[in-house]
Structure 1
Amino acid sequence: MTDTAAPTDFTNDPSATSWVESADGHPDFPVQNLPFGIFETSDGRVRGGVAIGESILCLPASVDLLGDEAADLARLADARDLNALFSKGARAVSALRQAVFRLLTDGGRKGEAQGHLHQADACELHVPFTVGDYTDFYSGIHHAVNIGSLFRPDNPLLPNYKHVPIGYHGRSSSIRVSGTEVKRPTGQKKPAEDGGDPGFGPSERLDYELEMAIWIGEGNALGEPIPIAEAGRHIAGISILNDWSARDIQAWEYQPLGPFLAKNFNSTVSPWVVTMDALAPFRVAQPERPEGDPLPLPYLLDRSDQETGALDVTMEVYLSTKAMRDAGDEPHRLSRGPMTAMYWTAAQLVAHHSVNGCNLRAGDLLGTGTLTSGEDHGKGSLMELSNGGKTPITLPNGETRTFLEDGDEIIMTAFAERDGFARIGLGECRATIAG
């Protein structure tokens, strides 16, 4: 991987400190991060805020402390979602984030601002946007090869994969924030033998999918594609995404039109939107394609995007069973891998999505697809880890799993680390299977 990080600014300065005591050295939310989210206090008020250490700074309450332009933007966060704020575009959000950074690093203003801080663990967090549309891509090539090999051992990748970003339209109404239980879905399943009748009942092959969420900020007009060189400014930021999958339901229904009930019952996102400004030190060159792979078509190819369009973010998945929690055992890590496993950059996904004139809107969610590292310890789903359910995984307490059982909790984390910069975390994306 070529080390060609994007330009940074004063908000990425690793020596910067905050008067918020819990911020300095925080593994996820130091002052160099300042992700945006929607929080609810005990009195039922729902507003936009910024995570700082173990606290949340209320944006609309801080308007008088941020300066004129930033104040106008902070007022837009007096809402149940971040759509209006992020629709103003990347430059505007950058200006607001910089104003918040100045406020939280100026010790002389502690007395003015500390009253607008809320203890994060006393607040309820919400999905950060009202999601109008959700598109799930299939950009993890190692996952695509692994899954394809289970069904087509001699031809795991279909011929279009390396030419066009593959995706499908998902269901936005069932997107839920981290911490929300997942009810096991019911549906039809493939007949036990050819010519037999399909089965019906709760999914017995329920799986997680380790993905990242790419949020759209500024949109585009219907009929006006977003050029690849401009796609980056339409990205609001990223979160962690678990796009749950019922493998037995999917195996019966996915042909000829693709995923349906096996995917639309629930998708879980982490609550904080980490901006591209916070991730600037961790933007790196897109991994070179293997020899013989085709170059992207011109509408998907931009030199700057190839040099700094990938994100050096590490992702992890942990499993905690009911028996483990009852015994006080720590969650067991199932996999760990990099976001650079994407065959396409985030900007390429945006450019492709709009090339036909599709209008993206603030709050639209693009899933990367399951991201598998290409190593045994970096497989992004149980389908891969258990070899399609043929090889059970043995947990430290002796329990085994091929797919998820009732009471199982999946915890996903993600973070970016690089010498000379503060660690930036994305928090957690967790949910328990309720049955």
Structure 2
Amino acid sequence: MSWWTTDETHDPARTSWVDSANGHVDFPIQNLPLGLFAPADRPERIGTAIGDKILDLKACADAGLFDPLVVQACQQPGANALLGLPVGRKRALRRRISELLSDPDYRNIVENKLFRAGDCELLVPARIGDYTDFYVGIHHANNVGRQFRPDNPLLPNYKYVPIGYHGRASSVRPSDVGVRRPYGQRKGPDADAPVFEPTARLDYELELGVWIGAGNALGRPLSIAEASHHVAGFCLLNDWSARDVQAWEYQPLGPFLAKNFHTTISPWIVTADAMAPFRTSQPSRPEGDPAPLPYLRDDNDQRHGALDLTLEVFLHTRRMRTQGAAPFRLSSGPATSMYWTVNQMVAHHASNGCNLSPGDLLGTGTISAPERSGFGSLLEISEGGARPLTLPNGETRTFLEDGDELILKAQASAAGYVSIGFGECRAVVLPAT
């Protein structure tokens, strides 16, 4: 079966006996994302979001509702073992969960394994061994490059190589964990020497997170044709950035302390199978751009490797919350504004024999649309601080202030299918200590 094929779990007519799932904006029965949660005063366990509830998969496994391999995976810490299952096994598990939550005959044995999501703590869903951040949002790359190199914003390698760097897995946190304003070295353009102070240019970056599944052995590259079988799912990712620290430190080796202090992710893994109806063709490269090198070229990937997602960013300042005002939408744009596909990112990452493991996390890099209404960072929206953004209540922003809350959202939609969402990726900026 092809990795983009739909089945009965995507049927728009399928409903759940969990009433809140029917019509739910993020978690209808057609989604069934995986996550790690902790009910009040109980140990963490693996679960599936369904409406405003969470199904305890470990309890289902203990009750003998899954096959032995899945039961064994559910006993392990985090979702790593589940993510690492073969594609066919994960697809069978999705079908089984869909059956349990849609067939009323299972209600009596499953209902007591549901928890109200609002009563649970949502955690980072897997033990992240490694985190790599890419730079595949071409409009972001152009916008930022133009601020430093107006006549030549993209470096020569950009259209040949999916650019990336190794991030810091230890500082990845789930939604709702506050981000502390970091200290760092920064140097003003007219200063003789740098200072060590809290960043004055704290920014967000709108990204997709990519969760790795089975992985590959050290020394064994993954071909572009097989890369999709190693992608377990997706989340939202905010790669917080201290722009003034970044400008001073990034040459010659790239990002370091400007980005490793905190990364926020949405806590649910929207599986690759859930995204099958929302596969779309990768946008054609502009005329004159080089074709991908053969190891990154695959016709199926070009036809089905992009994702039909609408990404949104909202700002909720402390004053807005005090006044009871709704968050202000900073941007909205499509996930198709990526120059490289997810599978090209994975294939390139492993092309030198680098071993990927279940639970590894990749970031796409900032995804921006061509227009300002779809820019994925304040660095772009404010043009490096030169063009302040005025909010509806009269406040202005060039970069983030203490007390600001950033909220990322994503919605997958396609004709003939039920839309699904990713849940929120949100965090409040806390003052430096």
TM-score band, normalised by the shorter chain? over 0.9
Taking a change above 3 Å as real, the CA distance of residues 83 and 293 of structure 1, as seen in their structure-2 partners, is same
* In 1, Cα distance between equivalents of 2:213 and 2:304: 20
Q: Could you tell me how far 1:60 is from its partner in structure 2?
A: 1.3
Counterparts of 1:287-298 in structure 2, within 5 Å, are 287-298=283-294
Deviations 1:234-263 (A, max 9, x none): 001000000000000000000000000000
- Indicate whether 1:165 and 2:162 are aligned: yes
Structure 1 gap ranges (5+): none
2:168 paired with 1:150: no
DSSP 3-state at the match of 1:60: helix
1:262 aligns with 2:258: yes
Aligned to 2:122, what secondary structure does the other structure show? strand
Q: Which amino acid aligns with 2:366?
A: T
Query: Are residues 110 and 232 of structure 1, via their aligned partners in 2, closer, same or farther at CA, if it must alter by over 3 Å?
Result: same
Matched, 1:186 2:214: no
Query: What is the SS of the residue equivalent to 1:215?
Result: strand
1:125-149 superposed Cα distances (whole Å, 9 cap, x missing partner): 0001111100000000000000000
Q: 1:199 to 1:420 in 2, by over 3 A?
A: same
Q: CA deviation at 1:276?
A: 1.2
Give the residue type in structure 2 aligned to 1:157: L
Contact 1:137–1:369 under 8 Å retained in 2: yes
Match of 1:102 among 89, 99, 104: 99
Alignment of 1:317-356 (within 5 A): 317-356=313-352
Pick aligned residue for 1:301 from 278, 297, 302: 297
For 1:78, the equivalent position in structure 2 comes to 75
Whether contact under 8 Å (2:66, 2:96) holds in the other structure is no
Three-state SS of the structure 1 residue aligned to 2:37 is: strand
Match of 1:54 among 49, 52, 56: 52
Query: Which AA in structure 1 matches 2:42?
Result: G
Among 87, 90, 109, the alignment partner of 1:90 is 87
Q: CA deviation at 1:89?
A: 2.6
- 1:65 positional shift: 6.1
Pick from 209, 212, 232 the counterpart of residue 213 of structure 1: 209
Q: Equivalent residue of 2:100, what SS?
A: helix
Q: Secondary structure at the match of 1:433?
A: strand
Cα offset, 1:342, TM superposition: 0.8
Identity of aligned residues (%): 58
Distance apart, 1:311 and its partner CA: 0.3
Q: Residue deviations 1:258-278, cap 9 Å, x none?
A: 000000000000000001111
**From 11, 15, 18, the counterpart of 2:16:** 18
* 2:36 alignment partner in structure 1: 38
- Asked whether the 8 Å contact 2:4–2:273 carries over to 1, the reply is no
Pairing partner for 1:433 from 426, 429, 432: 429
Across the two proteins, how many residue pairs are aligned to each other? 430
Cα separation, partners in 2 of 1:421 and 1:66, compared to 1, 3 Å: farther
Runs of 4+ in 1 over 4 A off after TM superposition: 64-68
SS in 1 for 2:245: helix
Q: Deviations over 1:321-379 (max 9, x none)?
A: 00000000000000001111110000000000000000000111110000001112000
CA distance in 2, matches of 1:339, 1:199: 38
Residue 227 of structure 2 is aligned to residue 228 of structure 1: no
- Distance (whole Å) between structure 1 residues aligned to residue 282 and residue 98 of structure 2: 30
Residues 75, 198 of structure 1: alpha-carbon distance in 2 compared, 3 angstrom cutoff: same
Residue 190 of structure 1: how far off its partner (Å): 1.9
Q: CA deviation at 1:75?
A: 4.0
SS at match of 2:196: strand
Q: Distance in 2 between matches of 1:334 and 1:327?
A: 19
Label 1:248 to 1:270 Cα distance change in 2 as closer, same or farther (>3 A).
Answer: same
Task: Please list the CA deviations of residues 56-113 of structure 1 after superposition, one character each: whole Å capped at 9, or x if unmatched.
Answer: 00001112666552x5314422343111111123222111111000111101111111
Q: Which whole-Å deviations, capped at 9, do the CAs of 1:283-310 have from their partners, x for residues lacking one?
A: 0000000000000000000110000000
CA contact (8 A) 2:45 2:78 kept: yes
Match of residue 408, structure 1, among 397, 401, 404: 404
Kindly tell me: are residues 68 and 425 of structure 1, through their superposed partners in 2, closer, same or farther at Cα, counting changes over 3 Å?
Answer: closer
**SS of 2:27 mapped into structure 1:** coil
Structure 1 contact 49–77 (Cα < 8 Å) conserved: no
Is 1:364 the equivalent of 2:360? yes
- Does residue 252 of structure 1 match 2:226? no
Indicate the SS of the match to 1:168: strand
- SS of 2:179 mapped into structure 1: coil
- Quote the Cα distance in structure 2 between the aligned partners of 1:25 and 1:65: 29
Where 1:37 maps in the other structure, the secondary structure is: strand
Partner Cα distance (2:322, 2:75) in 1? 41
- TM score, norm. by length of structure 2: 0.97
Letter in 1 for 2:131: Y
**Quick one: structure 1 residues 191 and 400, their matched pair in 2 at CA, closer, same or farther if it must change by over 3 Å?**
closer
Q: Unpaired runs of 5+ in structure 2?
A: none
- Alignment partners' CA distance in 1, 2:25 and 2:78: 26
State whether residues 210 and 242 of structure 1, in contact with CA within 8 Å, keep that contact through their aligned partners in structure 2. Answer: yes
- 1:33-58 Cα offsets, whole Å, 9 max, x none, are 00000000112311000000000000
Tell me the SS of whatever aligns to 1:256.
coil
- Between 42-51 and 169-178, report the one with greater CA deviation: 42-51
Query: RMSD value over aligned CA atoms?
Result: 1.4
Query: Residue 393 of structure 1 aligns with which residue?
Result: 389
